[in-house]
Amino acid sequence: MPMREECKHFQSRTYETGDIARFCSLDLAPEAPWRCPEDCPKYERRLADVAWHHGSLVPRPVGDIPLGADQNISELLDAAEDVVNGVIPDALEDLGKVAKSRRKFRWKSK
């Protein structure tokens, strides 16, 4: 089943580069941005979308699943998540250093 853009938990972000991130806000779509689970227990149609028809302002569709990735999507996305999670502690440490340096006030004596 493709991503259900009408689900109340579906979110998308468009960046300045034109890249679009599509995902489930509950992290229940392990194969996002290509597929939602067939029988997702949390699927709910957005109230604003119930009787609406979308015009041309709807974001462009997601590209096709990469060739040969049908069976390895979960593994690929898990590996990418591990890379990101491995960098987070260093990034938080760097942010802490910046925050500490901003807290120091330098008083000038006359």
* Per-residue pLDDT band at 7 (split at 50, 70, 90): confident
Check pLDDT > 60 for residue 110. no
pLDDT digit string (tens) for 17-68? 888 888 888 888 887 777 888 888 888 888 776 666 666 665 666 666 666 6
* Per-residue pLDDT band at 108 (split at 50, 70, 90): low
- Structural contact between residues 64 and 70, judged by C-beta atoms closer than 8 angstroms: no
Check pLDDT > 70 for residue 77. yes
User: Which sequence spans correspond to the domains of the chain?
Assistant: 1-64, 67-103
Lookup result for tokens 């260093």:
90
Whole-number Cα distances in Å, 35 to 19, 32, 60, 87: 18, 5, 16, 27
pTM over 0.75? The answer is no
